[in-house]
Structure 1
Amino acid sequence: MTSADTIRTAGADLFERRDPSAVDRYYTEDFRQHSPFAPDGREGLRGFIEHLPEGFRVDLVRVLEDHGMVAVHAVYEGLGPEPLAAFDLFRVEDGRIAEHWDAMEPLRSGPDGARPQLDGPTAVTDHERTHDNKTIAAEWVEAALIGGDAHVVQDHVSVEGYVDHALGAADTPRPAYRRLRRVVGEGNFVLTVAEGAAAEDPGRTVACYDLWRLDTGRIVEHWAVVQPVPDRMAHANGMF
């Protein structure tokens, strides 16, 4: 079973079958939680699962695996009055989930039911380019989004057909990126996790999850979720 298979199977047992005993099967004894609203450890997770609303479900859209790290692009239903677009990141150790991070924001739907924050290709291809694509995406975040060097766009982003699915990408100021935290990639997809400052409130720290699709060495598509880091969390592990 691959690390991605572990995530899929654990998710099905926990969220579809509502089987709390799956926590013991799929999570390490010292499981570490970074999701801000879920308690730490296996017992904390078990209690969180047991109190999920009846209509809760998770729909997986994209799944990437990178040497024990698994990134998931998904939709969460039932946690609030509207669906949430989410990124989850898992660290799998010896076939069990040892650590989890996530970020969520409201899902925007068009009048025809389309979900532009999720649209686009989902198939993982170009596995032989994984290392190069991770390097390109990391350089883009470091140089352009953190360093503010607009000139690097010509070396990293496609000049034709670039598609941005980020919520309000055309008219909403983006956060000020400060520090690249993680880079997880498989083939043509790379997820970067960065720490930033909210555009509307520079004193507020936000978690910036960006998914990049690359083609022949250029970034051609982008999805994103930005979530403020709460002042209080259900644990002391931090969001990063």
Structure 2
Amino acid sequence: MLKSADAGLAANKQLVFDMWRSIVNAGRVELADEMLQEGYIQHSPVLPTGRAAFKRIFSAVPRSTIPDLVSPPLVAMVAEGDRVVMALRDTLTDPTGEQYTSTHFNMFRIEDGRLAEHWHSLADSPGADVLPPEQGGPQPVTGIVGTGQADLLASEDPELAVRKRLAYVALRDLFVAGGEGQARDYLTKGYGEHDPNGFTGREQFGQGSLQDVIGAPLVAVVAEGNLVVLVTGRVEQHPFDAMRTYTTTRFDMFRIESGRIAEHWSGSVRPGQAPFAVGSAK
């Protein structure tokens, strides 16, 4: 998953992979000085921005031997341009006590060989002690609304451009508008759904309560090989201040096969359950 035909993309993947296993998993915060930009921008709704703040947070992780692999288990890494998306498999327990899996996503922007910006799929609301953006708190998630979104579908590789367009149109027409009647046009017969609120199989499409992203700004579209990740932003009401809002990020990853969508992953959780714990979503 770390390999790429482009040496620069492979290096960016390796940076993300090494940061996660050494700092997030093993608490080696001293390595942040060489892996993160000093002005590291944080878009998580619950974490402060800046490299110094990052080091303070992860200093709570017990120091241990750096593992060979990341935890939770790696599902995919997708790199394009200066972005890397890392998808991890999380095992969760719903309100009834049943275990199920979902996907935890992180997207990083790389600048001059260091991590410069971070978004992830944690949708938890900020606590009363989380600072506002202007005081070093989480920075707002921003993106493109309207016809300008087409600019994010461009690629020097014509095959990637086609796959981006397919994923974008499917997200718009099927997952947002609920056009399940068009499923045969977009999905393979054996379509696999990894959203815990969806159903596997093209004939079952539209019966699940997939989350709505109508009107959401498009933050990024990252494609590599047969995988395309669409990243959108949301605005939510702040739980402790009626005059404020906060932003979160949604990820939808698609695997393309023979011109149709064969699989879909998102960071959704089952209804009635709190999102991923902060400790597993850094």
TM-score (norm 2): 0.61
2:81 pairs with one of 67, 72, 85: 67
* Residue number in structure 1 paired with 2:131: none
How far apart are residue 38 of structure 1 and its match? 1.8
* Residue number in structure 2 paired with 1:162: 191
**Alignment partners' CA distance in 1, 2:88 and 2:108:** 13
Query: In the alignment, does 2:164 pair up with 1:134?
Result: yes
How far apart are residue 173 of structure 1 and its match? 1.7
2:112 pairs with one of 59, 84, 94: 94
8 Å contact from structure 2 (residues 102, 194) kept in 1: no
Aligned pairs for 1:114-153 (under 5 A) are: 129-153=159-183
8 Å contact from structure 2 (residues 196, 268) kept in 1: no
* Residue number in structure 2 paired with 1:210: 252
* Residue number in structure 2 paired with 1:122: none
Alpha-carbon displacement from aligned partner over 1:54-107 (angstroms, at most 9, x marks no partner): 899443221111111101111468xxxx987411111111111110011148xx
Alpha-carbon spacing, 1:84–1:177, altered in 2? closer, same or farther (3 Å): closer
8 Å contact from structure 2 (residues 32, 55) kept in 1: yes
* Residue number in structure 1 paired with 2:231: 193
More strand by share: 1
**Alignment partners' CA distance in 1, 2:255 and 2:40:** 31
Alpha-carbon displacement from aligned partner over 1:169-192 (angstroms, at most 9, x marks no partner): 136522222225221111111111
8 Å contact from structure 1 (residues 177, 197) kept in 2: no
Q: Percent identity between the aligned chains?
A: 24
Alpha-carbon displacement from aligned partner over 1:104-155 (angstroms, at most 9, x marks no partner): 48xxxxxxxxxxxxxxxxxxxxx87322211110121123333444454333
How far apart are residue 27 of structure 1 and its match? 0.7
8 Å contact from structure 1 (residues 209, 224) kept in 2: yes
8 Å contact from structure 1 (residues 141, 180) kept in 2: no
How far apart are residue 213 of structure 1 and its match? 0.6
8 Å contact from structure 2 (residues 90, 103) kept in 1: yes
| Bigger radius of gyration among the two | 2
2:23 pairs with one of 14, 19, 32: 14
Query: In the alignment, does 2:36 pair up with 1:27?
Result: yes
Listed as ranges, the gaps of 5+ residues in structure 1 are: 106-126, 199-203, 235-240
**Alignment partners' CA distance in 1, 2:90 and 2:192:** 23
8 Å contact from structure 2 (residues 228, 254) kept in 1: yes
Q: Secondary structure at the residue paired with 2:213?
A: strand
Alpha-carbon spacing, 1:59–1:53, altered in 2? closer, same or farther (3 Å): farther
Q: Secondary structure at the residue paired with 1:131?
A: helix
One-letter amino acid matched to 1:155:
D
Q: Secondary structure at the residue paired with 1:223?
A: strand
How far apart are residue 18 of structure 1 and its match? 1.9
Q: Secondary structure at the residue paired with 1:36?
A: coil
Alpha-carbon spacing, 1:207–1:148, altered in 2? closer, same or farther (3 Å): same
**Alignment partners' CA distance in 2, 1:19 and 1:53:** 9
8 Å contact from structure 2 (residues 102, 266) kept in 1: no
* Residue number in structure 1 paired with 2:53: 44
**Alignment partners' CA distance in 1, 2:55 and 2:235:** 33
* Residue number in structure 1 paired with 2:263: 221
Alpha-carbon spacing, 1:86–1:54, altered in 2? closer, same or farther (3 Å): farther
TM-score (norm 1): 0.70
Q: Secondary structure at the residue paired with 1:162?
A: strand
8 Å contact from structure 1 (residues 140, 152) kept in 2: no
1:173 pairs with one of 197, 209, 226: 209
**Alignment partners' CA distance in 1, 2:167 and 2:262:** 11
Listed as ranges, the gaps of 5+ residues in structure 2 are: 1-7, 65-69, 92-98, 124-156, 200-206, 237-245
